[in-house]
Amino acid sequence: MSFDGIVTRSVVSELNSILLGGRIDKIYQHEKDEMLIQIYSKGKNHRLLISASSNNPRIYLTSSPKTNPLSPPMFCMLLRKHLTGSIILDIRQRGLDRVVIFTLSGKDELGNPTERELIVEIMGKHSNIILIDKDSRKIIDSIKRIPAEISRVRQLLPGFDYSFIESEGKVDPLQSDQNDFYDHLDKANGSQKIFKFLYQSFTGLSPLAGREICSIAGLDSDRVILSLDDNDKNNLLNGLNQFIQKVKNEEFKPVYILKEEDSNVEAFYAFPLSQYRGMNQIETNSVSKMLDFVYNSRDTSDRVKQKSASLKKILHTKLERAQNKLSKQREELLNSKDREKYKVYADLIQSNLYRINKGLDQVILENFYDENLEKLKVPLDPKTSPAENAQRYYKKYGKLKTANQLLLAQIPETESEISYIEHVLVSLENATDVKELDEIKDELILEGYIQRRSMKDRKKKVKLSGPLRFVSSEGFEIFVGRNNRQNEMLTMKIAKKEDIWLHTKGIPGSHVIIKTEGNSVPEQTLTEAGLLAAYYSKGRNSGSVEVDYTEKKYVRKPKNGKTGLVVYENQKTIVVNPSPAELDKIKKIED
């Protein structure tokens, strides 16, 4: 990710075209370090998002609504007091730094006209939002106050003079020439990589920009300065000049690049990148729209990871316990199969009470259960009488017999629980938004794996969303369950008896239904549905996956079975390779 000075310049250019002359109507602070300012400009309301987050500092226009706290924080109240009703006179960037300055015309407490500046510093952990008086340059307040205990170099407190962060040793590439370039190159550490030299020598450049300049120059970005000859240095300078000329001319065409394997954002920038040549660079007509998509995707991804992590932890603990329980049950079942020998011991002792003296630790008796009447060594407890020894063996036999019957019923239940938990874990892996996680959490509450925290939670009902929908290349509609509850609804309520039901063989995964509408299903459609079944399963990353399929009428839910678990018969099996390239050919129907 790279919200550098070039992206900042692109944002400032767009903000000027949309917000200049606009009026600030409303101000919200939905996070401790994030603001949302509603601005009326050119007949429309616009939402300006400003974040001083250490991880994701940014500024752009957003279409996404935010949930606001019941009581606004102090900094929000202060901005409302000073800026509500103000007019935006100017929006500018400081050089090529990630600093955006809004000049605002409003009124002071006495109603007199005054001008203030809202300064947005997008600088990683040093990011901040600062309100100052334009004439005196005094700080009115900042979203993050920086006292001397935090920084001896630069304090940001009400009443203090405001000063910009200076980029030590760096030059502004918009104002520099070839002399500056060669001067920095001569002073650079010879073992420094080229792309690092670029972003550490010129303001506004990021590692991504450094690699892009190297790509334009036809140089390997990981080469070191010492390896460059005069021709390489000249090519690097030309690459830098070409790159900066695009910025000067404002040839902005915002793009983002998606990873092939998971469709997450690989990179974004203010214009197409030659270093990603050959990849799908998705252009947008607005840098704000691009950034809104990128950061919403990242925010959703982070929230899904964070929320699913706690559920996964609970389930992995439950799974480990269930697996240990199954192991013990199987061991006990194996031991219970030896129960008959204890009945034989008891019968033999009981039949020979008159021949056995108390105090023996064993006795050899004729085994009348054996055809050849072979003698059998029977262990004894010397502290008890022969009759008590017989009763002890009868009791042990009875316990093992009862245990065997119980274990034969309990083991399938434990196996079913393990299968259920594994299916839920696959659903968590496949979840792409918080709503899906809420559905899974609600399912786990209903199944008794999680307790509701409060009475309010008990009354809250999670509305179940619909399954994923696709259309095969031959026009057949294919449904894929997102979680166990959807799997059950899809198979038991939506599917008709003649529809085709698919599931990965012996692997936890989603239920998949091909709607036949009374028609026979072609092989290609069956393969595509099999690909979806494999992709939305634990075997997603496998080279080849076996998928069972049968008519829905041969699928049933066992008595007292857990949500989404079924048994089936009359199945056939196909083998598929769930590669992203193959899956891209199947059309998805958006909700």
Q: What is the pLDDT of residues 398-440, one digit of tens each?
A: 988 988 989 888 898 898 889 899 999 988 888 877 778 888 8
| Alpha carbon distance 566, 511 (integer Å) | 10
- The whole-number pLDDT of residue 138 equals 96
**What would the pLDDT profile of 497-525 be if each residue is shown by its tens digit?**
999 999 999 899 999 999 999 899 999 99
Amino acid at 589: I
DSSP assignment of 353-411, as one string? GGG--TT-SEEEEE-TTSTT--EEEEE--TTS-HHHHHHHHHHHHHHHHHHHHHHHHHH
Using the Cα atoms of residue 534, residue 536, residue 537 and residue 538 in order, give the sign of their dihedral.
positive
Taking residues 355-365, report their average pLDDT.
88
- Write the CA distances from 92 to 74, 88, 97, 119, 348, integer angstroms: 27, 11, 11, 10, 101
Instruction: Please state, in angstroms and rounded to a whole number, the distance separating the CA atoms of residues 18 and 286.
Output: 11
Nearest to 205 by CA among 161, 174, 235, 166: 174
How far is residue 591's CA from residue 586's CA, in Å, rounded to a whole number? 16
Residue 172 DSSP SS3: coil
| Confidence band, pLDDT 50/70/90 cuts, at residue 2 | confident
What's the pLDDT score for residue 521? 93
Average pLDDT in the 4-14 region?
96
Query: Greater confidence, 588 or 521?
Result: 521
> What pLDDT, on the 0 to 100 scale, is given for residue 248?
94
Average pLDDT over residues 248-273: 87
- Whole-angstrom distance, CA of residue 462 vs CA of residue 483: 14
Average pLDDT over residues 43-53: 94
Mean pLDDT of all residues in the chain?
90
For residue 234, give the 3-state DSSP assignment. Answer: helix
Residue 556, helix vs strand vs coil: strand
> Where residue 261 falls among pLDDT bands split at 50, 70, 90?
low
List phi, psi (to 5°) of 362. Answer: -165, 165
Q: What is the pLDDT of residue 219?
A: 95
Looking at residue 461, its pLDDT comes to 58
Structure tokens at 356: 């056995």
pLDDT at 1: 54
Report, as an integer, the average pLDDT of 146-171.
89
Per the listing, tokens 């204890």 go with 342
pLDDT at 460: 53
| Secondary structure tally for the chain: helices H, strands E | 14, 23
CA distance 413 to 406: 11
479, 499 in Cβ contact below 8 A?
Answer: no
- Confidence tier at 70 by pLDDT (50, 70, 90): confident
**What is the pLDDT averaged over residues 565-575?**
94
Query: Would you state the pLDDT for residue 478?
Result: 95
Q: What would the two tokens of residue 556 be?
A: 């049933």
**Domains in the chain, ordered, with CATH?**
5-142 (2.30.310.10), 178-283 (1.10.8.50), 308-463 (no CATH), 468-589 (no CATH)
Contact 271, 242 (CB under 8 A): no
Whether the per-residue pLDDT at 355 is higher than 60: the answer is yes
Torsion of CA 58, 61, 62, 68, to 10 degrees: 70
Average pLDDT over every residue of 350-375: 85
Write down the pLDDT at residue 145: 93
pLDDT in tens, 456-483: 555 555 667 789 999 999 999 999 998 9
Strand partners, 100: 93, 120
What amino acid occupies position 40? Answer: Y
C-alpha distances in Å from residue 71, one per residue of 85, 172, 468, 519: 21, 43, 39, 60
Who wins on pLDDT, 294 or 306?
Answer: 294
Q: What is the mean pLDDT of residues 156-177?
A: 90
| pLDDT for the residue 288 | 95
Total-model pTM: 0.64
Tokens representing 299 are 């925010």
List of residues 6+ apart from 255 with CB closer than 8 A? 268, 269, 271, 272, 273, 281, 282, 283, 284, 290
**Averaged over 522-550, what is the pLDDT?**
91
Tally of CB atoms within 10 A around 445: 16
Of 197, 192, 238, 191, give the one whose Cα is nearest residue 215. Answer: 238
Which two three-digit tokens encode residue 136?
């005196």
Read off the pLDDT band of 271 (50, 70, 90).
Answer: very high
pLDDT tens-digit readout, 276-301: 988 888 999 999 999 998 888 777 77
* Residue 512, amino acid: V
pLDDT at res. 247: 94
Rounded to the nearest 5 degrees, what angle is found at the Cα of 17, between the Cα atoms of 13 and 22? 120
Q: What is the 3-state secondary structure (H, E, C) of 21-86?
A: CCEEEEEEEEECCEEEEEEEECCEEEEEEEECCCCCCEEEEECCCCCCCCCCCHHHHHHHHHHCCC
